[in-house]
Amino acid sequence: MSMKHITRTEINIGARAAPLIARVNRRAKRLILKVDPVAGEIHVTAPSKRAVPEAIRFAQERIDWIASQLTENLRARPFASGMKIPYEGADHIILHDDKLRGAPRVENDLVPVIRVGGGAEHLNRRICDFLKREARQRLTERVDHHCLELGKKRRTIRIRDTKTRWGSCSSEGDMSFCWRLILAPPEILDYVAAHECAHLLHMDHSPAFWRVVRGLGADPGRAARWLSAHGPSLYAYGVTPDHGRAQPPA
């Protein structure tokens, strides 16, 4: 795929300007508009260099949709000392303590905190590693609990840095989960675990599948509403990656 020609400019979104990056892809059959809400960038693809100005106008005509994708709660938020983050659904403050040895630890005194040691330049990575370990532990506990109830056996559990899916289950019984589920309330994490375990019986989303999910004590409607309202903002925590980009409706 050839994308040699790149034009960088800006586009006004309300009272601020956002980077707009236009690329040429000669295989593209139409103008393509995508938004990276974490990086705060707009990307347009044109089928030829001659079509780049048209692609930029194409983006400018869709300002309202772009603005809806660039809300502040979706912007990248690397972990930092003094930052308030959700942990198992409750606000915790990250505190850097260069005298602390070993892994970060949670302290639930008057104000819940996550205390982290080591060099300040490694704080984001250390918090990410800590949260991934916590996610693996909680998800393994809940998956094994649900598998026992179902009388089914799972295979490998993988904790991933996914961008759009909270969980998945293969036909062989391998499961993958997004580590940011540890930031959500426990009942939401448990719902995703139950959802994937139900796929051990039904590799679809049939009525029978949803009966299994509810039989495991999960509330699909409540979880779907919570994830729709709060899930996208969780993807912003921890890193500044080149995430998959949102696309406008046709």
pLDDT digits (tens, 9 = 90+) for 94-136: 999 988 989 999 998 889 999 999 999 999 999 999 999 999 9
Give yes or no for residue 240 having a pLDDT over 60.
no
In the chain, % of residues over pLDDT 90: 66
DSSP summary character for residue 110: S
d(CA 78, CA 137): 23
Residues 6+ apart with CB under 8 A from 108: none
The two beta strands, 84-87 and 90-96, are antiparallel
Query: Is the CB of residue 140 less than 8 Å from the CB of residue 157?
Result: yes
d(CA 237, CA 125): 11
Give yes or no for residue 9 having a pLDDT over 70.
yes
Give yes or no for residue 2 having a pLDDT over 60.
no
Give yes or no for residue 4 having a pLDDT over 80.
no
Q: How far is CA 82 from the centre of its chain?
A: 22
d(CA 159, CA 235): 14
> Domains in the chain and their CATH numbers?
6-74 (no CATH), 84-234 (3.30.2010.10)
Average pLDDT, stretch 3-9?
Answer: 77
Give the residue from 121, 107, 37, 136 showing the smallest Cα distance to 79.
121
The tokens 């179902």 sit on which residue? 150
Give yes or no for residue 241 having a pLDDT over 50.
no
For residue 53, give both structure tokens.
Answer: 């100005």
pLDDT band at 204 (very low <50, low <70, confident <90, very high): very high
Classify residue 239 as exposed, middle or buried by CB count within 10 Å of its CB (0-12, 13-18, 19+).
middle
Average pLDDT, stretch 2-27?
Answer: 81
pLDDT band at 5 (very low <50, low <70, confident <90, very high): confident
Backbone angles phi, psi at 185, to 5 degrees: -60, 150
Higher pLDDT, 176 or 164: 176
Query: Is the CB of residue 179 less than 8 Å from the CB of residue 131?
Result: yes
d(CA 117, CA 103): 8
Give the pTM.
0.72
pLDDT band at 179 (very low <50, low <70, confident <90, very high): very high
Give the residue from 178, 182, 150 showing the smallest Cα distance to 162.
178
For residue 218, give both structure tokens.
Answer: 């999960």
Higher pLDDT, 46 or 243: 46
Q: Say whether 62 sits in a helix, a strand or coil.
A: coil
Higher pLDDT, 38 or 232: 232
Residue 73: per-residue pLDDT: 58
